[in-house]
Amino acid sequence: MSSQTDEDVKSRLERVSEQLQVPTNTRQITQIRLDQLRNVPEIDDEDLDDSVAAALALSAREDGLPINATDIENAWAETFDDDTEISVSNNRLETIRSHIDLDEVPAHPNALIRSFGEAVGMPDELIDVAHRILYDAFDEDPTVVAGGPSPAATAGAVLSLAALVNGAGERYEQEALGKVSGTGMVSVRNRSRDLKNLLGEEQLRNDRYRVQIAETTDDDQLAAADGAGSDDSGTASSTTADTETESDTASPSTADAEDTGADLTVDAVETEVDTLVEELDIGASTRLLARGMISDAVGDVGAETADELAAATVVAASRIEGGDIGPVEVAGTREFEPRAISQSLGTLGEAVDIDIPRRSAGEIVDELVAELELDDSIQEESHSTLERYDGDEDGEYTAAELAAGAVMFAATVGRTQVDIDTISAISGAEPSYITDAMNSVVVSLCLGMVRGDIAYEDCDWTTDLLESELSPNLGDSDTGRIIALAKTFAAGREGRYIDESTLDAVLGDD
């Protein structure tokens, strides 16, 4: 596929998304899937538009948006100057699903509403009202519809609202709807509240939502609800309605982080994303963007557990949207360190083929200097140190660790007392890694000077580091030997006597 073809398809995707009120994150997830599809040999230029249109339909279903395949077909075809026809058939949905690592084709929200309503014995009139509520909520604010914990919870919520506005809330209880939807009463109640707040009580009193309901007995209602929850009910557990993954149906507040943390699967990571979003009070759009990265990330990102990978996707999604959620805040809710998230962000960007904004070591230096109210000379020396540092070709240290190590080094040679625990708290880097990074910085600078990569005259730190009592207390034994070697070099340049202890230190590694 040519880059021009890709740009054309992206342009059409943007135009169709705007016309159909597709939320930004749903479109962004589809764009990520476009990058996946263009690497599929079976999909050529002629099939790309149909395939991406189908991917948009799948993304919309995942987010519980009431957008029909026909709507997408017509809107997409309108972006062409000729009579090109676009097909989003069930067969194509199934084919594209297999290429973007979805377990199954998600049910359309209308199908979920119908299935759950029938499962609790709700009459067609109320089910129709539930459909109207969903479409009206979508017209009011598509991002609110897409921002629910799952399409199943939204379907249960609009059915609950339909019953409530018609005085049938006790007949079709949220507990029964939570049961048949597999999301729980709390999820249905919270989602119902969100949609009620969106539409407003005045609009919900509109005759558009009022119907006459035939009487049913309590026994009929209980039988319907109980039957719907069983495996052989043929309703909520059927293939048509049961399209939610484990992460969609589990309540985030009760998810067992310890169990899911060890199971690095798409479902487990999605569950952890939902849990983190709730705990950190992150917006729905960030949640959707984070979940959109997961299928590509599992297996290709070096995270060890589901909660680590979930944390990385949440931080990445927040940064892409311009948010300020960082590794320190997210890691604070779990048992792992911020560096686990930072190390995953680089490979995550490669895995999902998306640019993830990341703070540079220089930016973190500026933050540390400002927070600690350090002298400008330490800030300058820290930046100079980072520019000369070449000891981390394999990416052993995170940007926060290198920045903290550079500031510690600059402060040490500048004879300024800084507290490593305070630096750790500000940067999010563990003290042990800060110390290791500082030692690596010292070794890199000393070897650079000895090799001639760094001019002796340009090293403002030589007097303080090499000709003072600072060096014996700086670094581990390996670092000390390199410092001794640099001392020998410096002394030789100036014709000074090299004492026996220094020679012993230099030769002790042989």
What is the tens place of the pLDDT at every residue in 342-399? 878 878 888 887 888 877 889 889 989 998 889 898 999 889 888 888 766 556 788 8
What is the maximum alpha-carbon separation in the chain?
106
Q: Vertex 472, ends 466 and 475: CA angle to 5°?
A: 95
pLDDT of residue 127: 93
* pLDDT at residue 32 is higher than 50: yes
Rounded Cα distance, 340 and 383, in Å? 25
For the residues 479-499, what does the mean pLDDT come to? 63
CB burial string 464-496: b at 16+ within 10 A, e below: ebbeeeebeebbeeebbbbbbbbbbbbbeeeee
pLDDT category at 183 given cuts 50, 70, 90 is: confident
pLDDT tens, residue by residue, 107-147: 999 999 999 999 999 999 999 999 999 999 999 999 999 98
Number of H helices, E strands in the chain: 28, 0
Looking at the predicted structure, is the pLDDT value of residue 471 above 80?
Answer: no
Residues 243-279 have pLDDT tens digits of 333 333 333 333 333 333 345 788 888 888 888 888 8
The domain 109-228 having CATH identifier 1.10.472.10: the answer here is yes
Distance of CA 216 to the CA centre of its chain: 46
pLDDT score for 295: 82
Is 61 a residue whose pLDDT tops 70? yes
Q: Give the residue ranges of DSSP H helices in 239-297.
A: 246-249, 257-261, 266-280, 284-297
Residue 126 to residue 176: CA distance in whole angstroms = 15
> Residue 274 to residues 149, 197, 246, 262, 287: CA-CA distances in angstroms?
7, 22, 11, 17, 7
Stretch(es) of the chain classified as CATH 1.10.472.10? 109-228, 257-352
pLDDT at 137: 93
Please name which of 233, 229, 236, 267 lies closest in space to residue 250, comparing C-alpha atoms: 267
Q: Is the pLDDT of residue 223 over 90?
A: no
Average pLDDT of the chain is: 79
List the one residue out of 217, 240, 313, 231 whose CA is nearest residue 270. Answer: 313
Phi-psi region of 471 (alpha: psi -120 to 50; beta: other; left: phi over 0): alpha
Cα 245 → chain centroid? 18
Say yes or no to pLDDT of 236 above 50.
no
Q: How far apart are CA 501 and CA 178, in angstroms?
A: 77
- Residue 52 CB coordination number (10 Å): 27
**Can you identify the CATH homologous superfamily of domain 257-352?**
Cyclin-like (1.10.472.10)
What is 3-99's CATH topology? Cyclin A; domain 1 (1.10.472)
- pTM given for the model: 0.49
What is residue 494's predicted lDDT score, i.e. its pLDDT? 52
- The whole-number pLDDT of residue 243 equals 34
Residues 78-90 pLDDT 10s: 988 878 889 898 8
Average pLDDT score over residue span 159-172: 91
Question: Distance between CA atoms of 92 and 475, rounded to whole angstroms?
Answer: 61
User: Which distant-in-sequence residues (6+ apart) come within 8 Å of 276 by Cβ?
Assistant: 282, 307, 310, 311, 314, 330, 333
